[in-house]
C-alpha cells in the first residue's frame, strides 16, 4: 500500500516525526512524502538527522527559510501545498490514503489559505461531509455533533439524522459491535431523567435493520461506557457530543490518539496533536506514537475500502 504524507508546518515538529519514524513505517507500506527535496535536506540537517535513502519524495512547494517555532506566511503556504499534493495523489489513485502531519492555523491564515484547518479544507475541496472519529486501537470514538454549545446538543438528537450517521459510520468501518451512548445521566433511567434515549433506541434499531445484523448496541449509560469492562466489549463508540467522547478518551489515551475523517471519498488520518512549536528543532525527540497509529489506521481503512470497494 502507498500512503501520501503531507509534512505539515515545517517550522514545527512534523518533519522530525516523519524522519524518525520512516524506517519503521517503510516496513509496513510505501510512504510518499510531499515536500521540496531541498527543504527536506535542509530540515534534516537542522535536526542533525540523516535523510533515509529509501525516502520517496513528491516535490512540491517553495524553498524558504525554516524559522523553528514561528508561524510564517512561507511555512503556511508550503504546508498547504504539501497537503494539496498529498490529497491529489490519493484522488488520482497514485496513493491509497492520506496521512497529515500538523499544520499551524495562524500560518495558513497568514498565507491567505481560505480554510481553518485540514478537516475544513477537506470538506471544502471535496464538497463532502466528513464524520469525525478520534482514538486509537483500544478505543475509537465517533462524534455525532462537534463544535456546538452544550445547550444545543439535545435538539440535534433526531431519529433521521442519527440513523443516517450510524449507517455512514458503519459503512466506513465495517466493525461490530459499536456502542451508542445515551444522552442523559444513567441513559435516562427509564425516562425519569430525559426522554432522548427513546429516539436513540429507534435510530439504533433502524440502523441495525439497514445493516441486517446487530451492529449497534445501546443506548449505553454514559458514565460507565469507558470502564475497563465496557472497553473489552466495545472498541468503537458513537458519542452524541464533543466532550462526552473526548474527555474520557483523552483521560485514557492522550498520547496515542489520532484523528480520522470518515465518510469521504479519500481515506484520511492525522495525528491528534499540533505543531508543538515550543520543542521544534530542539532535539526534544517528540513522541511518534500518534503518527505511527495514524499510519496504521490509514492502512487498515484503505484495506477495508479495497475489500468493500465502496466509492
Residues near a second copy (CB under 8 A) = 146-151, 153-155, 183-186, 188-189, 193-196, 222-228, 241-244, 246-252, 254
CB of 30 to a second copy, least distance (A): 35
Q: Which residues contact 155 (CB under 8 A, 6 or more apart)?
A: none
CB of 223 to a second copy, least distance (A): 4
CB of 192 to a second copy, least distance (A): 8
CB of 257 to a second copy, least distance (A): 11
CA angle 244, 247, 249 (to 5 degrees): 100
- In this complex, which beta carbon is closest to a second copy, that of residue 55 or of residue 141? 141
CB of 152 to a second copy, least distance (A): 8
- In this complex, which beta carbon is closest to a second copy, that of residue 92 or of residue 251? 251
Phi, then psi, of 96 in degrees rounded to 5? -90, -20
- In this complex, which beta carbon is closest to a second copy, that of residue 94 or of residue 195? 195
For 279, counting Cβ atoms within 10 Å of its Cβ (0-12 exposed, 13-18 middle, 19+ buried), the class is: middle
CB of 219 to a second copy, least distance (A): 12
- In this complex, which beta carbon is closest to a second copy, that of residue 31 or of residue 245? 245
CB of 229 to a second copy, least distance (A): 8
- In this complex, which beta carbon is closest to a second copy, that of residue 108 or of residue 226? 226
b/e per residue, 186-209, with b = 16+ CB within 10 A? ebbeeeeebebbebbbebbebbbe
- In this complex, which beta carbon is closest to a second copy, that of residue 83 or of residue 253? 253
- In this complex, which beta carbon is closest to a second copy, that of residue 244 or of residue 270? 244
- In this complex, which beta carbon is closest to a second copy, that of residue 242 or of residue 282? 242
CB of 281 to a second copy, least distance (A): 23
Amino acid at each position: 500500500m502507498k500512503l501520501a504524507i503531507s509534512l505539515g508546518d515545517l517550522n514545527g515538529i512534523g518533519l522530525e516525526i516523519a524522519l524518525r519514524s520512516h524506517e519503521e513505517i517503510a516496513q509496513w507500506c510505501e510512504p510518499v512524502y510531499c515536500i521540496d527535496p531541498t527543504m527536506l535536506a535542509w530540515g534534516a540537517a537542522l535536526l542533525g538527522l540523516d535523510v533515509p535513502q529509501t525516502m520517496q519524495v513528491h516535490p512540491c512547494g517553495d524553498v524558504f527559510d525554516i524559522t523553528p517555532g514561528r508561524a510564517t506566511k512561507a511555512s503556511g503556504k508550503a504546508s498547504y501545498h504539501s497537503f494539496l499534493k498529498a490529497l491529489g495523489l490519493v484522488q488520482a489513485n497514485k496513493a491509497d490514503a492520506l496521512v497529515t502531519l500538523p499544520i499551524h492555523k495562524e500560518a495558513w491564515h497568514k498565507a491567505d489559505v481560505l480554510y481553518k484547518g485540514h478537516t475544513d479544507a477537506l470538506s471544502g475541496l471535496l464538497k463532502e461531509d466528513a464524520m469525525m472519529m478520534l482514538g486509537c486501537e483500544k478505543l475509537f470514538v465517533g462524534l455525532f455533533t462537534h463544535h456546538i454549545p452544550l445547550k444545543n446538543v439535545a435538539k440535534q438528537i433526531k431519529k433521521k439524522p442519527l440513523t443516517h450517521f450510524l449507517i455512514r459510520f458503519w459503512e466506513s468501518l465495517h466493525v461490530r459491535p459499536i456502542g451508542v451512548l445515551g444522552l442523559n445521566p444513567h441513559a435516562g433511567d427509564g425516562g425519569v431523567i430525559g426522554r432522548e434515549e427513546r429516539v436513540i433506541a429507534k435510530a439504533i434499531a433502524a440502523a441495525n435493520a439497514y445493516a441486517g445484523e446487530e451492529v449497534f448496541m445501546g443506548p449505553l449509560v454514559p458514565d460507565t461506557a469507558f470502564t475497563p469492562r465496557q472497553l473489552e466489549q466495545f472498541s468503537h463508540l458513537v458519542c452524541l457530543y464533543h466532550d462526552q467522547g473526548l474527555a474520557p478518551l483523552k483521560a485514557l489515551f492522550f498520547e496515542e490518539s489520532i484523528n480520522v475523517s470518515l465518510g469521504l471519498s479519500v481515506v484520511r488520518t492525522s495525528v491528534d496533536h499540533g505543531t508543538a512549536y515550543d520543542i521544534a528543532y530542539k532535539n526534544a525527540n517528540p513522541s511518534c506514537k500518534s503518527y505511527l497509529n495514524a499510519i496504521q489506521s490509514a492502512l487498515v481503512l484503505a484495506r477495508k475500502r479495497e475489500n468493500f470497494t465502496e466509492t
